[in-house]
Structure 1
Amino acid sequence: MQKLQGLAKTWYESLNSILFSWDEWQGKLLSAFPFEQNYGQSLEDMIRRKSKFSEPLEVYYYEKLALLNRCDIEGKRAVECIIHGLSDKTMKSSANALRCTQPDQLLQFLMSNKDPSQSLDRSNSKGQYASTSESLTNKSSFSRTSKVNNNNSHYELFCFNCKEKGHPYLKCPKPLIQCAKCRRVGHKTENCAINLGNNNKTDNVQKTMCILTSSPNSKFLKDCIINDIPVKSFVDLGSEVTLLTQSLAATLNLKYNSPPLPLRGFGNDIVHSSGGVDVELSVDGVRGRVRCQVVDDSFLDLPLLIGQSFTEQPHVIVYKNALELKFLNDNYEFEFPRLDFDDNKPVTIIVPFDVDIFGPALVKAHVDTVTNGDIL
């Protein structure tokens, strides 16, 4: 009685007398601390108990037998319950073929067919497992995890949850990390490879880039007019969209008439515009109506970046050489140098195939005589 603790000790100290026989003590303890075992719960615990991976068979056998005794199941029915809990299908089939009538007979078979690597390590007298007699009376004397002799193991277990060796992820002591998208263990949803794959998709992403220029005399710098307001601009022949800054859009009091778009820029980064606006743009006297995407001022060095939404319009001609960039209308008449022709020496120009010419164009041609000069 000296080992009583908590409520039991309080009950013991409240007794008027302690001069009782052992039978009387048992009666008083049972009346003071009644305990009723729920048979349904005991039966559910017994059915749920199955042999585990790398668990010695004798541990499973004695724990299962203790649960069967709690349920008052014995004889052939106990044998069938023990066999039903075996995880090894081959051993389960062999045990059924024996037709044992008592659990002791089944134990002899299990001990003779167990894996040597599942033998208990008995070198430590204070091991994890208690004796057989103790296991029948106290289930808690057995450890939940089996101590396995790894001398004969051919591989080392690896946990995909904590990335450590020595145990599978089902027995990991750390909180389980599982992705909600691919349902795999060991990474979170934001780090899932499926997300990384989706980030590489470029569907419906317009291509543009933030360009900074340090040369004030660059041929790509243009003075243009937007809605009758003069503006400094930069021409980017590779950009699919025309961009203007939010400050310029506010100055011109422009209203958004299209939703924001994702724009892929320098470094393959994606930014989103604030929306689209329609403006009347004039560059070098060439006018056109252009849909512009409005972006933050930090993305542009100048208020306006002219892209293909203007340069690729049907009436716009882009003339560019190493020194200048100029925009022309499609009805522009080129100024050709005047040449003095020598009527006595006509030059025959031969074109290898029929060509339909609509305005200025480059055509492959050759002459039948050696001639120096310009051919118009």
Structure 2
Amino acid sequence: MASPDAQHESDDGMDDFMDKFKTQRYKNALAEDNWVEDFDKVPMFMKTAPEEIDGKTHPELACLQAIIHDEDRTPEEKAVSLKDEGNAFFKEKNYKKAVMAYTGGIKQKCEDREIHTVLLTNRAAAHFYLGNMRSALNDATAAKKIKPDHLKASIRGAQCCVKLRLFAETLQWCDEGLQLHPGDDTLKELRAAADKQKRAAERDIRKAKAKDKKLWIEKEKLLAAIKDRSIKLLQPGKPSKHSEDEEEGSSAADGLGSKEVTGAQVFLDEQGSLHWPVLFLYPEHQQSDFISAFCESGCFFDHLVAMFGEQFPPWDMDRKYHPQNLLLYFEDEQTETLYQVHTEMSLLKVLQHKRYFVKAGTPSFIVLVDGSGFWRTFVTGKKIKGL
């Protein structure tokens, strides 16, 4: 038993300590102005775990984490702890952290098949909510290999296949799962939805094939009509090295490729007449006109009257583009020859000329004012022929 003097000394020491406590601040106390935030940093009272845990910023948590993942514990114990940690992150919708925790548990390679399967199915769920459908499906597949009767593995696998639009695979997952769990409503609903979407997808494929076939038949019919008229289509990127005795007409589909550029393409009407998209070029003013459907039997003069008969275009400041004053040409680039087109001629007659090649599915013609200074300059040095 302590002597009275020793007891007195102890009491005196406590008195000194209490006196200092009253006058000096406790170094590790919570701050007065933000004690709520500091209080939330205490591991026991934390609402959510921090994004990163290290010994400097969160020493207490680092210590607890070291205890949780103590190397002395069995792989099964470590896996369970990591599973619980992943579940906590999952409930907070922190799916990335959940994946990391579940992955850590899987790496423990515990021999308990139930724990390992749960870790895989839980990670599949976290991947699912992150949008990593392939990774989720891989985890569900791995879980099913370990425990074929695991219900959640079947559900996760089916859900992933639906998202990936693998409807046949979805039905397989559901059917195999329902053989072992015939009363499960989730698998029944997934199967019904997948079957409905599978039939809809197959119907869309049939419609698309029928549409493609119809377009192919129409295109072949169109190309045959063009060939029958001896009209020559020039494929993009290929020079017009056709000779007079070369087989006229082309069955190459890319010779009609004008729709993507102009929004129009040659078509065959119900009466069997071709209608062409035609371009008129006015090099003097760097202008152009586009006719989306020029009937092959129509003449050029009718279109010139429609464009210039009643009013002049705003770029024709000299008011000289009268229909009767205009000259039409097409250019043979290979021979550097201008062929003059009579405005009373039909479009078909011109397109059938042995030196006319339809480029990119759109016939084009140069329009000049007869007798103008620009006309004289433009034709100087060029060979000019009539049709």
TM-score range, shorter chain: under 0.3
TM-score (normalizing by structure 1): 0.24
TM-score (normalizing by structure 2): 0.23
